[in-house]
Chain A
Amino acid sequence: MITCRNLTRRFGEFTAVAGLSFHVEPGAICAFLGPNGAGKSTTVKMFTGLLAPTAGEIEVCGLDPRTNPVELKRRIGVLPEDLGLFDDLTVEEHLQLTASVYGVAKQEAKDRIAQLLRALSLEHGRRTFASACSHGMRKKTSFAMALLPNPRVLFLDEPFEAIDPVTSKIMRDLLQSASRRGITVFLTSHILPVAEEIATQLIMIKKGKIVWDSPASELPQALERHYFDLVESPVVEELEWLGPPRS
């Protein structure tokens, strides 16, 4: 469903993504992990047609984002890094816009919107303009927009950050339910326990290169431990100026 070969993206002298090659099966939930600046969002942008690769090949739903951009966008749902919301539309208007643009029938759209607003606890703020929403509400709106047209592939950039625990659980359940229905989910996250819980495939990158790619079941140790071993270990520096520790 998602394939890339030797995918590379350079920004001047800096190589953000260096020759990535991997494949994600239909219905899989692939967690794409790595530290800040590792190239996760750049990769998502290339898959969704927001950024052209410098080199390499991409195929999503059998389509190349460069040759079939509009057709591809009809088949994918995206929660982008900066959420992609318009300040001058309300939460509900964003969903109505999505339904219209993706050609969801009127009554069906009404039902789906009502269901998503309810499921994601957005009902009370449905008439709030995006500019006045909290970050969590904005994220949920963008998530609902990604899901609403019933896409074949979902690309979610950091979907669980700034989300309350209940909504996070609902989102995880929704993603697992989507996966059971054959929808492929490709998500980036820093929240390792969540990735460990729902992912069926794990890819870790460091400085634009893959350091691990396997089914989740083949992980040799706990995800956090494995991540610290392969990607980076936390180094905690004592802040002496906070005062002496209390015994």
Chain B
Amino acid sequence: MARTAAILRALGRALRRDQKSIAAVVGNNFFIVTVLVLQEAGAFLYLILGLILLFTLSTDPLRKIPVSRLGLWPLERRERWMLRAASPWVNPMTWLIGGSAVWVARGKVTLGLWGLCAGLVAASFVLSALPLGPRGTLWRRMPRFPEPLNHLIRKNLREMLSTLDFYVALLLSLATLAYRVWGPRLPQEALMPLTLLVMVALSSYAQCLFGLDGESGLERYRLLPVRGWQVLLAKDAAFLVLAILVALPLAPLAGFGAALVALAVGHHATVNHQREQIRWRFSAGAPVVEGLVQCALIATAGSSVGHSPWMIAPCAAAWAGSMWWYGRQWDVTAHNGDMP
């Protein structure tokens, strides 16, 4: 019993430390913009953020213990069963869902919403506890791109698919698509703000494009005989592919213009202030002011392209110029052994 309790205590500590990483959401452009601009009107968006966070924070706590370590501990069969049964209760999310059942009983939360949350928590727990490989077929089946950057772009796509930013954008995009297919007719004017919102959801990642490469990956980049603009191009290509994908049910050209500008601005923080990111969390980009400037420019670019498709040209020029400029900066810092 004492051994199980000690493991559960350690597990709880590890889990709390891990869950502190959700604080990254406050440095995310999407969160900042919804709080500052939409305020109470952004309830639906907060719900989306909350559901995604709930899903990622509800994984099986026992996954925190390496399988080999768990197997090596001198635990009796009975103690292992106790650990299995007690481990979900180490996670505050389980208590949150259990506690909120009281609100349902008092009529403060609808049963549907509570059921959705409880279902997400249960699904996340069960899926993560299953002995499945973390990276399945989908992860391997990335589209092919032109050489020599093919594998770098594929890698960058996998990295971007490991951030929650993309899934917020995807949910918004799919919700709009569902509305357009099954709901009442959506006015054209509504598409532009939704497109901009989707691009804002992706924009923080544009400020930390190397965030998931880790020290080892960054070292490889510095050893490869490629120019800085090529490194950035491989990063940007992956970003643009996913940005276009989520913009397709909305205003694709405006979304493309906004994504180009998000990258043009984001290159500065990406190259000069590299911030390590955590997988399956929201990206935390540059300081708030820089993030707000980026969002303002995304809005300007997107709506300009929405009014006149020709405005895509200055967006593309800004992106190309930024890639050239910051590519040179990358060359200077990365190849002379003076990486920040």
Contact = CB atoms under 8 A, between A and B. Distances in A.
State the main secondary structure of chain B at its contact with A. helix
Interface of A: 45-46, 48-52, 65-66, 69-71, 73-74, 78, 80, 82-90, 93-94, 96-97, 100-103, 127, 129, 132
Contacts of A65: 336-337
A88 B155 contact: yes
A88 B163 CA distance: 13
A188 B158 CA distance: 34
Contact of A84 (B152, B159, B216): B216
Contact of B227 (A45, A50, A70, A93): A70
13 contacts: A50-B337, A51-B337, A70-B225, A70-B227, A73-B223, A73-B224, A84-B216, A87-B216, A88-B162, A89-B151, A101-B224, A129-B135, A132-B135
Nearest to A94: B151
B151 A46 contact: no
Contact of A97 (B152, B213, B216): B152
Interface string B110-154: 000000000000000000000001110001100000011111101
Contact of A100 (B140, B151, B220, B223): B151
Contacts of A51: 337
A45 B226 contact: no
Given A80-B219, A97-B151, A102 B225 contact: yes
Contact of A88 (B159, B225, B227): B159
A125 to B, nearest CB: 13
B217 interface: yes
Among B150, B214, B224, the most chain A Cβ lie within 10 Å of the Cβ of B224
B80 interface: no
Nearest to B147: A100
A89 B135 CA distance: 11
B209 to A, nearest CB: 13
Interface string B147-174: 1111110110011001000000000000
